[in-house]
Amino acid sequence: MVERKLNFSAGPSQMPLEVLKEMQDEFLCYKESGCSVLEMSHRAKDFEEIIFGARDTLRRIMEIPEDYEILFMQGGATTQFSMVPMNLAKQGDTFTYVNTGQFAGKAKDEGARWGNAVVTASSKDKTFSYIPDEITVAPGSKFIHITGNNTIYGTSYNSLFDHGDTPLVADWSSAILGKWIDVKDYDLIYAGAQKNMGPSGLAVVIIKKNLLELEVDPVVPVMMRYKVAADNDSMYNTPPTYSIYAAGKMFSWVEKMGGVRALEEINKEKAEMLYDFIDNSALFTNPVRVKDRSIMNVTFTLPDEALTKAFLDECKMKGIINIKGHRSVGGMRASIYNGMPKEGVKTLLDTMKEFEKNNR
Amino acid sequence: MVERKLNFSAGPSQMPLEVLKEMQDEFLCYKESGCSVLEMSHRAKDFEEIIFGARDTLRRIMEIPEDYEILFMQGGATTQFSMVPMNLAKQGDTFTYVNTGQFAGKAKDEGARWGNAVVTASSKDKTFSYIPDEITVAPGSKFIHITGNNTIYGTSYNSLFDHGDTPLVADWSSAILGKWIDVKDYDLIYAGAQKNMGPSGLAVVIIKKNLLELEVDPVVPVMMRYKVAADNDSMYNTPPTYSIYAAGKMFSWVEKMGGVRALEEINKEKAEMLYDFIDNSALFTNPVRVKDRSIMNVTFTLPDEALTKAFLDECKMKGIINIKGHRSVGGMRASIYNGMPKEGVKTLLDTMKEFEKNNR
């Protein structure tokens, strides 16, 4: 095996080595099944154990109440951008979006295909470096949609706001399981798995059961109906079996580590290490308003392109990969999900400190 | 490792052991990337090599002309049931379906959400045990849709029919790469990967480029637009990275084995072994018209429930799994995709012969 590096990718992202080793060990033959999980019929008992086990573990670690359904879906968060309006509203209905970045904007664009997508608050004026303080619901909205953690800009909703009786929908892709989210505060949460839950190709939806009873326009494809997914235990057609298996392993690992709250504490410490240094640095800058900072994605910049390049080269030499910021904003971004241990963050921090010393 | 069994599952299905071993070897760290493919950013160079490599290999082994685009998508064939009408026709347009089984019917049902889905030929009268001889195109059809290989019933189009200038769309999920398909005969081919191409969670679409230029209704979600997928190299959002990697391994294996035509010859031999025995058996029966038989899914029945149960028990003892027929038809089904070696079919055949001898 070639040496594993420190992978700060925003997603797909680093997984705990012990989880990967367990998967490698049973790669050719899963338990008594006689085959690899990759080869396993989704109608086989062994797979039922895998998918229902994953669902039950997720319910425990997120303390998901019984009046919420857990769905495993394909197409990532981007497919959810369309499914939410198609399932929660009729064509032409009004719904509210908060614009806190690129994916929030994309969610709104998909909503606009279906109805009257109103943006009531935005942080675009300051390059999405904060979460708006005043968020209102457009009159008659069938739901209000937020992007809980903004991966590109390193912001996060660290508290919620008053939305009355309007259902609250949140894309928590890049913070789910890395930060405590109280499910009861939401009517629908969705998340791409490829951050804290393992592999890409899987999206998890946590939806209040009463929303499954809404009438859905006949034009909506069968694969985009929450009720169909719920009625068929997420297996209306062949599900992404291996991704569900991998996510299940991640859920069990979270439980073994003491749960989401325990991991959140570790993640806070990891993030604080970086933010503390950056805030006291003469060289590195983080533009995000302190109370809106993400503990999952820490963004930072250097004064010019030459220094940025020099730092990225330095990282490469230290075995630090995927630390470059999103192409739309530049700079650096350290994604420090559950799979990134404290020692990894420490190595990054040491590299930053040394770089500052050498470039004062 | 517990012993691997003989897996005749209709999908997900058995993969070549050498492919699985290669994947297991590089599971913790892919080449020089410093991470598992599961953890790899889809924007990383290593992943670009994987996805473009897979695409290029598929183009070679299927001899896909340059005026066709190859897309990697999520949501399985069932999502394609909706995407085809949404991208090839306007709402209310007419299109034609041939009803050759459960999935053909589901494809038609999804088409009916979008327009006037006309069935011009069906084999429902004889429990889908044949492919209709006379297939016509409904006037004004934007496309005609067929299900190339019917997994549940064990039938297959072994020749095509005259469809004039109407674009021909085929779901070749359960035969692609296991049987020679001349791409030039079609305007659009789609296939779920979990038969001959490896893992679930991935669908491959081969679409004539001129179809990408059709105007698409604004209501169609961004994730359901072929043009968006094509313009973004199948990476508009995070693709199912591990499934694409696994499919790429399968494509390379097909090439190494001498290509699709070489594997088709082997598959024909495998199928003939079973059909020959069944046709001369006093106990086992296959109901499919000979010229319409599938070389991928061989279905067979026994005279009564007691014998069926006894045979399934016998199979279990021999390490033969997932041989039970689809719950909608009963009996047995042996799916003998590329990943099932001739020796595996031989073992099944011996089990059938012995069973017949003991139950005459």
**Mean pLDDT value of segment B89-114:** 98
**Mean pLDDT value of segment B44-59:** 97
Query: Is B241's CB within 8 Å of A12's CB?
Result: yes
Closest CA–CA distance from residue A7 to any residue of chain B (Å) = 7
Tell me B214's DSSP state: S
Distance CA B247, CA B200 (A): 10
Confidence label for B2 from pLDDT (cuts 50, 70 and 90)? low
In this predicted model, what pLDDT tens digit does every residue of A3-18 receive, in sequence order?
899 999 999 999 999 9
Q: Is A157 helix (H, G, I), strand (E, B) or coil?
A: coil
Residues β-bridged to residue B170: B146, B189
The first and second tokens of residue B227, run together, are 């043009």
Helices and strands in chain B: count of H runs, count of E runs: 9, 13
Distance CA B325, CA B341 (A): 20
pLDDT at B55 over 60: yes
pLDDT at B252 over 80: yes
Distance CA A250, CA B69 (A): 36
The beta-carbon neighbor of B13 closest among A27, A39, A91 is: A39
Q: What is the pLDDT of residue B1?
A: 52
ipTM: 0.98
Select from A45, A74, A222 the residue whose CB has the most chain B CBs within 10 Å, as the one to mutate to test that interface. A74
Distance CA B200, CA B11 (A): 8
Chain A residues within 8 A of B240 when measuring between CB atoms: 74, 200-201, 240, 243
The first and second tokens of residue A226, run together, are 């929450």
Q: What is the pLDDT of residue B328?
A: 84
Distance CA A156, CA B329 (A): 52
Distance CA B202, CA B11 (A): 12
Dihedral Cα B248, B249, B252, B253, nearest 10 deg: -140
- Cβ pairs A/B, distance under 8 A: 238
Distance CA B251, CA B254 (A): 5
Query: Is A74's CB within 8 Å of B77's CB?
Result: no
User: Checking phi first, is residue B152 left (phi over 0); if not, alpha (psi -120 to 50) or beta?
Assistant: alpha
Distance CA A328, CA A300 (A): 14
User: Checking phi first, is residue B318 left (phi over 0); if not, alpha (psi -120 to 50) or beta?
Assistant: alpha
**Mean pLDDT value of segment B163-191:** 98
In this predicted model, what pLDDT tens digit does every residue of A210-264 receive, in sequence order?
999 999 999 999 999 999 999 999 999 999 999 999 999 999 999 999 999 999 9
**Mean pLDDT value of segment A192-203:** 96
Query: Is A10's CB within 8 Å of B41's CB?
Result: yes
**Mean pLDDT value of segment A182-198:** 97
B66 exposure class (CB count in 10 Å sphere: 0-12, 13-18, 19+) = exposed
Q: What is the pLDDT of residue B329?
A: 87
Query: Is A322's CB within 8 Å of B114's CB?
Result: no
In this predicted model, what pLDDT tens digit does every residue of A93-114 receive, in sequence order?
999 999 999 999 999 999 999 9
Q: What is the pLDDT of residue B245?
A: 98
Distance CA A149, CA A182 (A): 14
Query: Is A2's CB within 8 Å of B29's CB?
Result: yes
Position A13: which residue type? S
pLDDT at B360 over 90: no
Closest CA–CA distance from residue A144 to any residue of chain B (Å) = 19
Give percent of chain A above pLDDT 70.
99
Confidence label for A328 from pLDDT (cuts 50, 70 and 90)? confident
Select from B47, B173, B242, B317 the residue whose CB has the most chain A CBs within 10 Å, as the one to mutate to test that interface. B242
Distance CA B43, CA A193 (A): 17
Give percent of chain A above pLDDT 90.
98
Query: Is B200's CB within 8 Å of A240's CB?
Result: yes
Distance CA B297, CA B340 (A): 12
Residues β-bridged to residue A332: A300, A324
Q: What is the pLDDT of residue B104?
A: 98
Closest CA–CA distance from residue B39 to any residue of chain A (Å) = 5
Chain B residues within 8 A of A171 when measuring between CB atoms: none
pLDDT at B8 over 60: yes
